[in-house]
Amino acid sequence: MEGQEILQDIVFVTLYGGVIMLNVVVALYLLLRRGNAIAPEVTSPRRLRMWSAAFMIVSALSHIYWPFYAYNPTPTIYVLVCGLDILLLFPSIAGVLLSMLQDRHRVIWPVLVMLIPAFVLMSMCIIRGDDSLYALVSTYVMVLYALLMLYMFFAVRHYRRWLRDNYADLENKEIWQSLIILAVFLLFFIMYSTTSVSSHLLAYLLQIDCIIIVGLLLWRVETLPQLSESAPKEEDPSEDEQKVSASPAIPSNIGPLLKKRCEDRQLYLQNDLTLAQLAQIIGTNRYYLSLYFAQQGQTYNAYINGLRVSHFIRLYHEAVANNRIFTAQQLAFESGFHSYSTFSATFKQIIGMTVTQWIRSTAE
Protein backbone atom coordinates (compact mmCIF):
# COMPACT_ATOMS: atom_id res chain seq x y z
CA MET A 1 0.00 0.00 0.00
CA GLU A 2 2.88 2.39 0.75
CA GLY A 3 4.17 1.96 -2.82
CA GLN A 4 0.74 2.73 -4.23
CA GLU A 5 0.47 5.85 -2.04
CA ILE A 6 3.76 7.30 -3.26
CA LEU A 7 2.60 6.75 -6.85
CA GLN A 8 -0.36 9.03 -6.12
CA ASP A 9 2.06 11.87 -5.39
CA ILE A 10 2.15 13.92 -8.59
CA VAL A 11 5.47 15.56 -7.67
CA PHE A 12 7.11 12.20 -7.08
CA VAL A 13 5.65 10.69 -10.25
CA THR A 14 6.98 13.64 -12.25
CA LEU A 15 10.41 13.25 -10.67
CA TYR A 16 10.31 9.49 -11.15
CA GLY A 17 9.42 9.79 -14.83
CA GLY A 18 12.06 12.46 -15.26
CA VAL A 19 14.73 10.11 -13.91
CA ILE A 20 13.65 7.43 -16.39
CA MET A 21 13.84 9.88 -19.28
CA LEU A 22 17.18 11.21 -18.06
CA ASN A 23 18.70 7.72 -18.05
CA VAL A 24 17.29 6.88 -21.48
CA VAL A 25 18.41 10.16 -23.06
CA VAL A 26 21.93 9.92 -21.60
CA ALA A 27 22.22 6.26 -22.67
CA LEU A 28 21.24 7.11 -26.24
CA TYR A 29 23.59 10.08 -26.22
CA LEU A 30 26.51 7.89 -25.12
CA LEU A 31 25.68 5.22 -27.69
CA LEU A 32 24.96 7.42 -30.71
CA ARG A 33 27.08 10.57 -30.35
CA ARG A 34 30.67 10.18 -31.46
CA GLY A 35 32.04 13.40 -30.00
CA ASN A 36 31.71 14.97 -26.57
CA ALA A 37 29.53 17.94 -25.73
CA ILE A 38 31.15 18.74 -22.38
CA ALA A 39 34.75 18.42 -23.59
CA PRO A 40 34.78 18.43 -27.41
CA GLU A 41 38.57 18.11 -27.54
CA VAL A 42 38.53 14.82 -25.62
CA THR A 43 38.11 11.38 -27.17
CA SER A 44 36.48 9.20 -24.53
CA PRO A 45 37.27 5.48 -24.12
CA ARG A 46 34.77 3.53 -26.21
CA ARG A 47 34.49 0.76 -23.62
CA LEU A 48 33.64 3.28 -20.90
CA ARG A 49 30.90 4.84 -23.03
CA MET A 50 29.35 1.41 -23.70
CA TRP A 51 29.36 0.34 -20.05
CA SER A 52 28.01 3.71 -18.94
CA ALA A 53 25.18 3.47 -21.47
CA ALA A 54 24.45 -0.07 -20.24
CA PHE A 55 24.25 1.21 -16.67
CA MET A 56 21.83 3.96 -17.70
CA ILE A 57 19.61 1.46 -19.51
CA VAL A 58 19.58 -0.89 -16.53
CA SER A 59 18.75 2.02 -14.23
CA ALA A 60 15.83 3.02 -16.48
CA LEU A 61 14.55 -0.58 -16.57
CA SER A 62 14.81 -0.73 -12.80
CA HIS A 63 12.48 2.27 -12.58
CA ILE A 64 10.08 0.80 -15.11
CA TYR A 65 9.47 -2.55 -13.43
CA TRP A 66 9.37 -1.27 -9.82
CA PRO A 67 5.69 -0.10 -10.08
CA PHE A 68 4.70 -3.72 -10.77
CA TYR A 69 5.71 -4.54 -7.20
CA ALA A 70 4.02 -1.40 -5.88
CA TYR A 71 0.66 -2.62 -7.23
CA ASN A 72 1.31 -6.31 -6.53
CA PRO A 73 3.44 -6.46 -3.34
CA THR A 74 3.84 -10.22 -3.06
CA PRO A 75 7.05 -11.84 -1.75
CA THR A 76 7.74 -13.42 -5.14
CA ILE A 77 7.42 -10.13 -7.05
CA TYR A 78 9.51 -8.38 -4.39
CA VAL A 79 12.36 -10.86 -4.73
CA LEU A 80 12.09 -10.82 -8.51
CA VAL A 81 12.22 -7.02 -8.74
CA CYS A 82 15.03 -6.65 -6.22
CA GLY A 83 16.86 -9.60 -7.76
CA LEU A 84 16.84 -8.00 -11.20
CA ASP A 85 18.27 -4.83 -9.67
CA ILE A 86 21.10 -6.74 -8.02
CA LEU A 87 21.96 -8.98 -10.95
CA LEU A 88 21.95 -6.13 -13.47
CA LEU A 89 23.04 -2.99 -11.59
CA PHE A 90 26.03 -4.44 -9.76
CA PRO A 91 27.86 -5.84 -12.83
CA SER A 92 27.04 -2.74 -14.88
CA ILE A 93 28.48 -0.33 -12.30
CA ALA A 94 31.48 -2.65 -11.88
CA GLY A 95 31.98 -2.59 -15.66
CA VAL A 96 31.89 1.20 -15.64
CA LEU A 97 34.50 1.49 -12.90
CA LEU A 98 36.83 -1.16 -14.34
CA SER A 99 36.72 0.42 -17.79
CA MET A 100 37.98 3.70 -16.32
CA LEU A 101 41.28 1.96 -15.55
CA GLN A 102 43.21 2.03 -18.81
CA ASP A 103 46.57 0.62 -17.74
CA ARG A 104 45.32 -2.83 -18.75
CA HIS A 105 42.13 -4.60 -19.76
CA ARG A 106 40.19 -5.82 -16.73
CA VAL A 107 37.60 -8.53 -17.37
CA ILE A 108 34.11 -8.52 -15.84
CA TRP A 109 33.54 -12.27 -15.48
CA PRO A 110 34.85 -12.48 -11.86
CA VAL A 111 32.06 -10.08 -10.86
CA LEU A 112 29.49 -12.35 -12.51
CA VAL A 113 30.93 -15.39 -10.73
CA MET A 114 30.65 -13.62 -7.37
CA LEU A 115 26.95 -13.03 -8.04
CA ILE A 116 26.18 -16.74 -8.42
CA PRO A 117 25.40 -17.26 -4.68
CA ALA A 118 22.98 -14.31 -4.79
CA PHE A 119 21.31 -15.76 -7.88
CA VAL A 120 20.94 -19.15 -6.18
CA LEU A 121 19.45 -17.65 -3.02
CA MET A 122 17.00 -15.51 -5.00
CA SER A 123 15.97 -18.51 -7.07
CA MET A 124 15.23 -20.39 -3.85
CA CYS A 125 13.10 -17.47 -2.64
CA ILE A 126 11.08 -17.46 -5.87
CA ILE A 127 10.61 -21.24 -5.86
CA ARG A 128 9.50 -21.23 -2.22
CA GLY A 129 7.30 -18.17 -2.74
CA ASP A 130 8.71 -16.17 0.19
CA ASP A 131 11.36 -13.53 0.82
CA SER A 132 12.83 -14.99 4.01
CA LEU A 133 16.28 -15.38 2.45
CA TYR A 134 16.38 -11.99 0.79
CA ALA A 135 17.98 -10.33 3.84
CA LEU A 136 20.91 -12.71 3.37
CA VAL A 137 21.08 -11.80 -0.33
CA SER A 138 21.05 -8.09 0.49
CA THR A 139 23.86 -8.49 3.03
CA TYR A 140 25.92 -10.58 0.63
CA VAL A 141 25.64 -8.02 -2.17
CA MET A 142 26.49 -5.20 0.25
CA VAL A 143 29.67 -7.09 1.08
CA LEU A 144 30.40 -7.34 -2.66
CA TYR A 145 30.04 -3.57 -2.96
CA ALA A 146 32.46 -3.11 -0.06
CA LEU A 147 34.94 -5.49 -1.71
CA LEU A 148 34.60 -3.63 -5.00
CA MET A 149 35.28 -0.34 -3.23
CA LEU A 150 38.34 -1.85 -1.53
CA TYR A 151 39.61 -3.18 -4.86
CA MET A 152 39.03 0.17 -6.57
CA PHE A 153 40.87 1.98 -3.78
CA PHE A 154 44.07 0.01 -4.38
CA ALA A 155 43.56 -0.11 -8.17
CA VAL A 156 43.21 3.68 -8.34
CA ARG A 157 46.40 4.13 -6.30
CA HIS A 158 48.26 1.80 -8.66
CA TYR A 159 46.71 3.56 -11.66
CA ARG A 160 47.89 6.92 -10.33
CA ARG A 161 51.48 5.61 -10.18
CA TRP A 162 51.11 4.25 -13.72
CA LEU A 163 49.96 7.66 -14.96
CA ARG A 164 52.91 9.42 -13.34
CA ASP A 165 55.30 6.91 -14.88
CA ASN A 166 53.92 7.46 -18.39
CA TYR A 167 52.38 10.93 -18.73
CA ALA A 168 53.65 14.45 -18.28
CA ASP A 169 50.17 15.97 -18.03
CA LEU A 170 47.62 14.39 -15.69
CA GLU A 171 44.71 16.82 -16.13
CA ASN A 172 41.45 14.83 -16.39
CA LYS A 173 43.38 11.54 -16.50
CA GLU A 174 43.22 10.65 -12.81
CA ILE A 175 40.11 8.73 -11.76
CA TRP A 176 39.87 9.04 -8.00
CA GLN A 177 36.39 10.46 -8.73
CA SER A 178 35.35 6.89 -9.53
CA LEU A 179 35.45 6.20 -5.81
CA ILE A 180 32.90 9.00 -5.33
CA ILE A 181 30.64 7.40 -7.94
CA LEU A 182 30.94 4.07 -6.19
CA ALA A 183 30.28 5.66 -2.80
CA VAL A 184 27.13 7.35 -4.11
CA PHE A 185 25.98 4.09 -5.64
CA LEU A 186 26.67 2.25 -2.39
CA LEU A 187 24.54 4.85 -0.63
CA PHE A 188 21.86 4.12 -3.23
CA PHE A 189 21.97 0.42 -2.39
CA ILE A 190 21.96 0.95 1.39
CA MET A 191 18.99 3.29 1.09
CA TYR A 192 17.26 0.77 -1.14
CA SER A 193 17.79 -2.04 1.35
CA THR A 194 17.13 -0.23 4.63
CA THR A 195 13.79 -0.20 6.43
CA SER A 196 14.70 2.53 8.89
CA VAL A 197 13.82 5.39 6.52
CA SER A 198 10.21 6.29 5.85
CA SER A 199 9.09 5.11 2.43
CA HIS A 200 8.21 8.54 1.06
CA LEU A 201 11.53 10.10 2.08
CA LEU A 202 13.40 7.03 0.86
CA ALA A 203 11.66 7.17 -2.52
CA TYR A 204 12.62 10.83 -3.03
CA LEU A 205 16.21 10.30 -1.86
CA LEU A 206 16.63 7.39 -4.26
CA GLN A 207 15.65 9.57 -7.21
CA ILE A 208 18.02 12.33 -6.16
CA ASP A 209 20.74 9.72 -5.76
CA CYS A 210 20.06 8.48 -9.30
CA ILE A 211 20.35 12.01 -10.72
CA ILE A 212 23.66 12.56 -8.92
CA ILE A 213 25.04 9.28 -10.28
CA VAL A 214 24.01 10.16 -13.84
CA GLY A 215 25.59 13.61 -13.56
CA LEU A 216 28.86 12.33 -12.11
CA LEU A 217 29.09 9.51 -14.61
CA LEU A 218 28.33 11.65 -17.65
CA TRP A 219 30.93 14.23 -16.60
CA ARG A 220 33.55 11.53 -16.04
CA VAL A 221 32.87 9.82 -19.38
CA GLU A 222 33.02 13.10 -21.28
CA THR A 223 36.26 14.35 -19.70
CA LEU A 224 38.30 11.13 -19.42
CA PRO A 225 40.62 10.84 -22.46
CA GLN A 226 41.42 7.64 -24.27
CA LEU A 227 44.94 6.63 -23.24
CA SER A 228 45.43 3.18 -24.73
CA GLU A 229 46.77 4.48 -28.03
CA SER A 230 49.41 6.73 -26.48
CA ALA A 231 50.98 4.31 -24.00
CA PRO A 232 51.51 0.54 -24.12
CA LYS A 233 49.42 -1.66 -21.86
CA GLU A 234 51.03 -3.16 -18.79
CA GLU A 235 49.86 -6.68 -19.51
CA ASP A 236 50.88 -6.80 -23.18
CA PRO A 237 54.41 -8.16 -23.63
CA SER A 238 56.36 -6.50 -26.42
CA GLU A 239 59.71 -6.72 -28.14
CA ASP A 240 60.96 -3.95 -25.86
CA GLU A 241 60.19 -6.01 -22.78
CA GLN A 242 62.00 -8.98 -24.29
CA LYS A 243 65.05 -6.81 -24.92
CA VAL A 244 64.98 -5.60 -21.31
CA SER A 245 64.72 -9.13 -19.93
CA ALA A 246 67.55 -10.29 -22.21
CA SER A 247 69.76 -7.32 -21.34
CA PRO A 248 68.66 -5.75 -18.02
CA ALA A 249 71.50 -3.17 -17.94
CA ILE A 250 70.26 0.34 -18.67
CA PRO A 251 72.16 2.02 -21.54
CA SER A 252 74.58 4.61 -20.16
CA ASN A 253 73.76 7.16 -22.83
CA ILE A 254 70.14 7.76 -21.78
CA GLY A 255 71.07 10.68 -19.52
CA PRO A 256 73.08 12.53 -22.22
CA LEU A 257 70.37 11.79 -24.80
CA LEU A 258 67.71 13.31 -22.54
CA LYS A 259 69.86 16.40 -22.10
CA LYS A 260 70.50 16.76 -25.83
CA ARG A 261 67.14 15.80 -27.34
CA CYS A 262 64.65 16.74 -24.63
CA GLU A 263 66.09 19.44 -22.38
CA ASP A 264 68.12 21.39 -24.95
CA ARG A 265 65.27 21.25 -27.50
CA GLN A 266 62.72 22.09 -24.79
CA LEU A 267 60.48 19.16 -25.67
CA TYR A 268 59.05 19.37 -22.16
CA LEU A 269 57.00 22.35 -23.35
CA GLN A 270 55.01 19.99 -25.58
CA ASN A 271 51.61 19.19 -24.08
CA ASP A 272 50.77 15.54 -23.41
CA LEU A 273 54.25 14.30 -24.24
CA THR A 274 54.23 10.66 -23.14
CA LEU A 275 57.04 8.44 -21.95
CA ALA A 276 56.70 6.27 -25.06
CA GLN A 277 56.95 9.30 -27.36
CA LEU A 278 60.01 10.64 -25.55
CA ALA A 279 61.67 7.22 -25.67
CA GLN A 280 61.19 7.11 -29.44
CA ILE A 281 62.59 10.63 -29.82
CA ILE A 282 65.80 9.89 -27.91
CA GLY A 283 66.28 6.55 -29.68
CA THR A 284 65.61 4.07 -26.89
CA ASN A 285 62.54 2.12 -25.78
CA ARG A 286 59.91 2.87 -23.18
CA TYR A 287 61.04 0.21 -20.73
CA TYR A 288 64.69 1.27 -20.60
CA LEU A 289 63.61 4.88 -20.14
CA SER A 290 61.17 3.91 -17.39
CA LEU A 291 63.91 1.94 -15.62
CA TYR A 292 66.23 4.94 -15.95
CA PHE A 293 63.79 7.24 -14.18
CA ALA A 294 63.18 4.62 -11.49
CA GLN A 295 66.95 4.39 -10.99
CA GLN A 296 67.02 8.18 -10.57
CA GLY A 297 64.34 7.92 -7.90
CA GLN A 298 61.73 9.92 -9.78
CA THR A 299 58.77 9.45 -12.09
CA TYR A 300 58.55 10.60 -15.69
CA ASN A 301 55.90 13.11 -14.62
CA ALA A 302 58.23 14.58 -11.98
CA TYR A 303 61.08 14.83 -14.52
CA ILE A 304 59.04 16.75 -17.11
CA ASN A 305 57.33 19.03 -14.61
CA GLY A 306 60.65 19.75 -12.91
CA LEU A 307 61.96 21.02 -16.24
CA ARG A 308 58.82 23.09 -16.69
CA VAL A 309 59.19 24.73 -13.28
CA SER A 310 62.82 25.58 -14.09
CA HIS A 311 61.61 27.05 -17.39
CA PHE A 312 59.05 29.14 -15.52
CA ILE A 313 61.76 30.52 -13.23
CA ARG A 314 63.90 31.48 -16.24
CA LEU A 315 60.94 33.18 -17.94
CA TYR A 316 60.17 35.06 -14.73
CA HIS A 317 63.69 36.41 -14.33
CA GLU A 318 63.83 37.37 -18.02
CA ALA A 319 60.48 39.19 -17.77
CA VAL A 320 61.60 41.08 -14.65
CA ALA A 321 64.95 42.00 -16.22
CA ASN A 322 63.22 43.31 -19.35
CA ASN A 323 60.47 45.10 -17.36
CA ARG A 324 57.88 43.11 -19.28
CA ILE A 325 54.31 43.01 -18.00
CA PHE A 326 53.30 39.43 -17.21
CA THR A 327 51.25 37.21 -14.94
CA ALA A 328 52.33 34.00 -13.23
CA GLN A 329 49.51 32.20 -15.00
CA GLN A 330 50.74 33.35 -18.40
CA LEU A 331 54.28 32.19 -17.66
CA ALA A 332 52.98 28.86 -16.36
CA PHE A 333 51.16 28.19 -19.64
CA GLU A 334 54.25 29.24 -21.59
CA SER A 335 56.20 26.70 -19.54
CA GLY A 336 54.06 23.80 -20.75
CA PHE A 337 51.48 23.46 -17.98
CA HIS A 338 47.87 22.74 -18.92
CA SER A 339 46.37 24.39 -15.84
CA TYR A 340 47.52 26.89 -13.27
CA SER A 341 46.31 24.72 -10.38
CA THR A 342 48.60 21.89 -11.51
CA PHE A 343 51.47 24.34 -11.88
CA SER A 344 50.88 25.78 -8.40
CA ALA A 345 50.86 22.38 -6.75
CA THR A 346 53.96 21.25 -8.67
CA PHE A 347 55.82 24.49 -7.96
CA LYS A 348 55.18 24.24 -4.22
CA GLN A 349 56.22 20.59 -4.16
CA ILE A 350 59.52 21.31 -5.94
CA ILE A 351 60.46 24.75 -4.59
CA GLY A 352 58.97 24.34 -1.12
CA MET A 353 56.86 27.50 -1.18
CA THR A 354 53.90 28.88 -3.09
CA VAL A 355 54.37 30.89 -6.27
CA THR A 356 53.32 34.08 -4.48
CA GLN A 357 55.75 33.47 -1.61
CA TRP A 358 58.57 32.75 -4.05
CA ILE A 359 57.91 35.90 -6.08
CA ARG A 360 57.91 37.97 -2.90
CA SER A 361 61.18 36.39 -1.77
CA THR A 362 62.88 37.17 -5.09
CA ALA A 363 61.72 40.80 -4.88
CA GLU A 364 63.28 41.36 -1.47
Q: What is the mean pLDDT of the chain?
A: 85
Residue 155: closest CA among 185, 182, 188: 182
Q: Which CATH class is domain 2-223?
A: mainly alpha
pLDDT at 221: 92
Q: How far is it, in rounded angstroms, from Cα 334 to Cα 30?
A: 35
The answer on pLDDT for 193 being more than 70 is: no
Between residues 190 and 92, which one has the greater pLDDT? 92
Helix (H) or strand (E) holding 10: helix 10-32
pLDDT over 50 (residue 242): no
**pLDDT band, residue 264 (cuts 50/70/90):** very high
pLDDT band at 228 (very low <50, low <70, confident <90, very high): low
Residue 238 has pLDDT above 90, yes or no: no
Give the pLDDT score at 162.
94
Q: What is the mean pLDDT of residues 30-59?
A: 90
Distance CA 300, CA 278 (A): 10
Q: What is the mean pLDDT of residues 292-320?
A: 94
Residue 153 has pLDDT above 60, yes or no: yes
Q: Is 340 helix (H, G, I), strand (E, B) or coil?
A: helix
The CB density around residue 191, as the number of other CB atoms within 10 Å, is: 16
Chain centre distance of CA 137: 29
Residue predicted with more confidence, 38 or 20: 20
Give domain limits for the chain. 2-223, 239-363
φ, ψ of residue 313 to 5 degrees: the values are -65, -40
Q: For the domain bounded by 239-363, which CATH number is listed? A: 1.10.10.60
* Long-range contacts at 6-13 (CB < 8 A, ≥ 24 apart): 6/70, 6/199, 6/200, 6/203, 7/67, 7/70, 9/200, 12/200, 12/203, 12/204, 12/207
Q: Identify the three-state secondary structure at position 271.
A: coil
DSSP string of 119-163, one letter each residue: HHHHHHHHHHT--TTHHHHHHHHHHHHHHHHHHHHHHHHHHHHHH
Question: Residue 194: what pLDDT?
Answer: 53
SS3 167: strand
Distances (CA, A) of 320 to 312, 326, 330, 331, 347: 12, 9, 14, 12, 19
Amino acid 191: pLDDT: 61
**Can you tell me the mean pLDDT for 159-187?**
83
Residue 279 neighbours by CB distance under 10 Å: 21
pLDDT digits (tens, 9 = 90+) for 71-99: 777 878 878 888 888 888 889 989 999 99
pLDDT at 197: 44
pLDDT in tens, 117-141: 999 988 888 888 887 888 888 888 8
Q: Which of 1-15, 166-180, 305-319 has the highest mean pLDDT?
A: 305-319
Contact between residue 167 and residue 274 where contact means Cβ atoms under 8 Å apart: yes
Comparing 8-22, 51-65, 86-100, 194-208, the range with the smallest average pLDDT is 194-208
For range 17-39, the mean pLDDT: 92
